[in-house]
Structure 1
Amino acid sequence: MPTAPYDGTPTRDLLATRFGEIVEVIIPPPKTAVASPQSVLVPSVRDRHIAEIQTKGRMAWQKSTGYNKRSRAETQMGRWKAVIGPKLKARHFDNQKTEAKIGIRVLNRMTELGRPKFERVA
């Protein structure tokens, strides 16, 4: 049963220890993932994710778990690093807040300029 390095009990246990039991761990299982032997009686979160992917498909699983939101956040951070830079230049916290606000306005303006507008013709 090959798994991704982060798709397993040690990672989930570490996150639960660090952030508490209330955190919902959403780690996409690899395509070759197999449910655990105890999944019939006591399914883990990972087992439930695998079952949902098998029955509804990966895209439906992503929507139901909110995995797409995480992906969007990562994309936004990637855009920030590519356009603004990997770190803030200001040294003082108040100046860092101002720098972040300016960066956000720049990215929002760029997004607004590049977003297509659709109009129904027929």
Structure 2
Amino acid sequence: GLDLVSGEIVCSDLTKDDVGDPTALPDLLDQVDGPVDLFLADGAYDGDPTSDLLTARFGPMIEVTTPPPKNAILSPNVARKPTARDCHIADIAINGRMAWQKATGYNQRSRGETLMGRWKAVIGPKLKARNF
């Protein structure tokens, strides 16, 4: 996890290939000391479990920006109480994915990917150990 303003790595974890990103998220969030107001992540984090966890940890004002899949459907309560995800789905349907990325700031995620790419260049293409 990165602070996009400072470039500081605020949380990290080394997992085996069989551990998915959302599964590792609670342990990563335990490492974060300060407040979080924006969570940008890839589509692997899309869904209620991630949103609920982030809201529980950082409060209802946290902005969760993850791209919904192309076949995403609106929630059953969209007419009465649309979720942020519902708004993302509708915005993508109306304006397209690229416009949604620009409007939500999701394109900033590429800065995070660049920062991680730099770190991986420092540690090399593989970590080697006798056991996990």
TM superposition score category, shorter chain reference: 0.5 to 0.7
> What TM-score, normalized to structure 2?
0.57
- Which structure 1 residue ranges, 4+ long, deviate > 6 Å from structure 2? none
Identity, % of aligned positions: 60
| 1:85 is the counterpart of 2:123 | yes
Could you tell me which residue of structure 1 aligns to residue 69 of structure 2? 30
Give distance in 2, aligned partners of 1:22 and 1:70.
20
5 Å-filtered alignment, 1:2-81, equals: 6-81=45-120
Indicate the structure whose relative CO is greater, using CA pairs within 8 Å and at least 6 residues apart. 2
Q: What is the CA distance between 1:64 and its match in structure 2?
A: 0.6
Give the match's secondary structure for 1:25.
strand
What stretches of structure 2 of length at least 5 have no aligned partner? 1-42, 125-132
Give the deviation of 1:81 after TM superposition: 1.6
Deviates more, 1:48-57 or 1:19-28: 19-28
Structure 1 unpaired stretches of 5+: 87-122
The residue type equivalent to 2:123 in the other structure is G
Query: For residues 37 and 24 of structure 1, what CA distance do their matches in structure 2 show?
Result: 21
* Number of residue pairs aligned between Structure 1 and Structure 2: 82
RMSD: 1.6
Q: Take 1:78 and 1:18, find their aligned partners in 2: how far apart are those partners? A: 28
SS in structure 2 of the partner of residue 21 of structure 1: coil
TM-score normalised by structure 1 residue count: 0.61
Secondary structure of 2:123's aligned partner: coil
> Counterpart amino acid of 2:58?
F
